[in-house]
Structure 1
Amino acid sequence: MGTEAGRTGTEQQAMRVAIDAARSVASALPNPRVGCVLLTPAGEQLAVGLHRGAGTPHAEVDALQQAGDAARGATAVVTLEPCAHTGRTGPCAEALLEAGVARVVLAQTDPNPEATGGADRLRAAGVEVESGLLADEAAELNVEWTFALTHGRPFVTWKYAATMDGLSAAPDGSSKWITSAEARRDVQLFRAGADAIMAGTGAVLADDPRLTVRDADDLPLPYDRQPLRVVVGETHIPSYYRVFDRVAPTLLVQSREPDEVLAKMVENGVRHVWLEGGPRLAGAFWNAGLVDRVIGYIAPAMLGSGRAALEGEAATLADLRPIDLHDVARIGPDIRIIGTPGRAPREEMP
């Protein structure tokens, strides 16, 4: 590839291509999103591979299949350490060795204890391996997946919609629709990135929601799967409710203990839970410190009375919890706020 500086620049550019390829997939959960670029010894791009979901070829294999015999002596630039285990597909480290790849540049090491070890296997076989290139950018591809593996529970995103005075339902319980069609479409994009959508029995009985990703054919990204629907609570829901249709599988969890609910998710292989309705269930997770991200849609409207978006346990202003904001955007007429719950009480202002 010429000079060391030239090689580094070429591989960095290839890693950005690999990251973009992985990002083009809405979700590969319960697997990670991964991209791979194969380069010739001269630094020319041979192939771009990506992983599209469980049971499909991993990114390295996808790229190798495109390159064929030309992969011998190539450099594989991959966003995640090649796996070393056999699951639904074979180990990527072995596939790279069999193809004759001479060098592997990876961004994020694999946090999955069942799959890690690919880099060591490659090095032991004489392949040059370099790790850490654009590691932070690559890690952003799979924040929820990595969290689930390192914490032993799914990542929880709580979404709510409310008026400017913080109400998510009118006094009669009606809540459709507080926010605009643009906001509701935006929600579909986020739902597509989760592998479970969760609501309480009260919200299901009140709104009869589908709890699915809708208008998937119109989403500006490839999408051909539905998340698991999870309904939490002990109240009976009639079988004719839409949450029991054949569009997606549904799991009933007869508990309001967040730890028990998440344990059931783990049993079902869930990595990222989209918590959407209602305020009591959201409050239980909030009070337990089990909300990892908040996405709020605020409509430019007032109700004056009704039901709050969250039923928490705060008694005084000392219980106020801060939100670390990551993004504020206008979606149609509404405002979308994305943040992370703070883990410490807000300091008293002077």
Structure 2
Amino acid sequence: MRTALALAARGLGNTWPNPAVGCVIVTRGPFGDRIVGRGWTQPGGRPHAERRALDQAGPLARGATAYVTLEPCAHHGHTPPCAEGLIEAGVARVVTALTDPDPRVAGRGHQMLRAAGIEVIEGVCGPEARAMNAGFLKRVERGLPFVTLKLATTIDGRIATASGESRWITGPQARRAVHAMRMRHDAVMVGSGTARADDPDLTVRDMGAARQPIRIVIDSHLRHSTDSRLGRTARAVPVWMIHTAAATDAARTDWASTGAHLIEVPEREGHTDLTAALRHLAAEGLTRIFCEGGADLAAALIRANLVDELAHFGAGALIGAEGRAALGGLDLGALSDAPRLTLIDVAPVGADTLTRWQFGI
């Protein structure tokens, strides 16, 4: 199952709105177990992991065990159900990590397999599978995407000098790691201030990405220039602009002409309603969003309890109090109100350090 999970992870960022699933088919012979088929969900969500593994295994699938990181689908969509494919292939046993919460499946895949006389074992490496597919699960169960907030700061928590200079706080290895993180998410999101200050392109570069992430800007008034990198490349790599009713007709027309997808959401207390925005993005199929700033957007997401994981790149540098802080205000009345995060991992990345923290525990 851990091999299947490693295969599933290859699909992260490429399979939305479908889950990233891995499948390993194993036969048992006189000299021990042998893997005869491997598969993972392909870009765009088709073909499914089970189909790929069954095609590779061929007739060797008969009597074999299939390890699948998520319950095989039981409904007809663009392709026949994977549960049906496993039955037709003649596998003897199916081991799964999770039940699929999608109402079209939700236990029906397991039932179909058992009804065909196949032994089904559930819950193997379940916590690992839930963590790997947290985005898909959160979208189905709560109608929201999984949000990773990335911060890159000096030791004293600054993201730029007083004049706004920020290139580069961290070193080249850390920046490459950020591209790898972008590649494992469905979308990259920034606020309008960061978009205007940095003119980013927000793509994955030099990594052979199978699918570029959607590029999202939270820009209530659509003030970001259509002559920016995002505006000039919106037809080549999708750009989604989140705005409110405050955006002028002229700004909407200009951005629509670039090929960008415009999404109007309500305001809350004079600002973009981020919960409504993320619910809309989930409804559009996004499961995993990588937020790269800026400080006000990061703080607003935290205040709204919309961040699931923080990826913090720490550089061995000091800027001082005159530098720009990593976060805007959190409106804390007391220290006991401060969000408390759970440390997931610490790793050196070149001359910098990456710490990953989990919210909500």
Normalized against structure 2, the TM-score is what?
A: 0.84
- Unaligned stretches of 5+ residues in structure 2: 245-271
Quote how far apart the aligned CAs of 1:33 are: 2.1
Q: 2:159 aligns with which of 163, 168, 182?
A: 168
Aligned to 1:252: 241
Aligned to 1:270: 286
Asked if 1 retains the 8 angstrom alpha-carbon contact of 2:153 and 2:315, the reply is yes
Quote how far apart the aligned CAs of 1:265 are: 0.5
SS at match of 2:202: coil
Give 2:304's aligned amino acid.
A
Q: 2:18 aligns with which of 31, 34, 41?
A: 31
1:73-84 equivalences in 2 (<5 Å): 73-84=63-74
Asked if 1 retains the 8 angstrom alpha-carbon contact of 2:18 and 2:45, the reply is no
Asked if 2 retains the 8 angstrom alpha-carbon contact of 1:31 and 1:53, the reply is no
Q: Which moved more, 1:64-73 or 1:89-98?
A: 64-73
Cα RMSD, aligned residues only? 1.9
Quote how far apart the aligned CAs of 1:160 are: 1.1
Aligned to 1:326: 344
2: CA distance, partners of 1:263 / 1:191: 20
1:216-231 equivalences in 2 (<5 Å): 216-217=207-208, 223-231=209-217
1:35-50 equivalences in 2 (<5 Å): 35-40=22-27, 42=29, 43-50=33-40
SS at match of 2:240: strand
Give 1:158's aligned amino acid.
L
Quote how far apart the aligned CAs of 1:270 are: 0.6
Q: 2:98 aligns with which of 96, 108, 113?
A: 108
Q: Which moved more, 1:45-54 or 1:298-307?
A: 45-54
Aligned pair count reads 324
Normalized against structure 1, the TM-score is what?
A: 0.87
2: CA distance, partners of 1:278 / 1:87: 40
Q: Which moved more, 1:232-241 or 1:130-139?
A: 130-139
SS at match of 1:224: coil
2: CA distance, partners of 1:323 / 1:133: 27
**How has the CA–CA distance of structure 1 residues 318 and 66 changed in structure 2, closer, same or farther, with 3 Å as cutoff?**
closer
Quote how far apart the aligned CAs of 1:315 are: 4.4
1:65 aligned to 2:55? yes
**How has the CA–CA distance of structure 1 residues 242 and 284 changed in structure 2, closer, same or farther, with 3 Å as cutoff?**
same
Deviations 1:115-140 (A, max 9, x none): 33100111122222121222223333
Asked if 1 retains the 8 angstrom alpha-carbon contact of 2:16 and 2:45, the reply is no
Quote how far apart the aligned CAs of 1:275 are: 1.0
2: CA distance, partners of 1:45 / 1:332: 36
2: CA distance, partners of 1:161 / 1:53: 30
SS at match of 2:347: strand
Quote how far apart the aligned CAs of 1:341 are: 2.8
Asked if 2 retains the 8 angstrom alpha-carbon contact of 1:29 and 1:194, the reply is no
Asked if 2 retains the 8 angstrom alpha-carbon contact of 1:226 and 1:247, the reply is no
Give 1:21's aligned amino acid.
L
- Unaligned stretches of 5+ residues in structure 1: 1-14, 218-222, 344-350
2: CA distance, partners of 1:76 / 1:330: 37
Quote how far apart the aligned CAs of 1:46 are: 2.0
Q: 1:237 aligns with which of 224, 229, 252?
A: 224
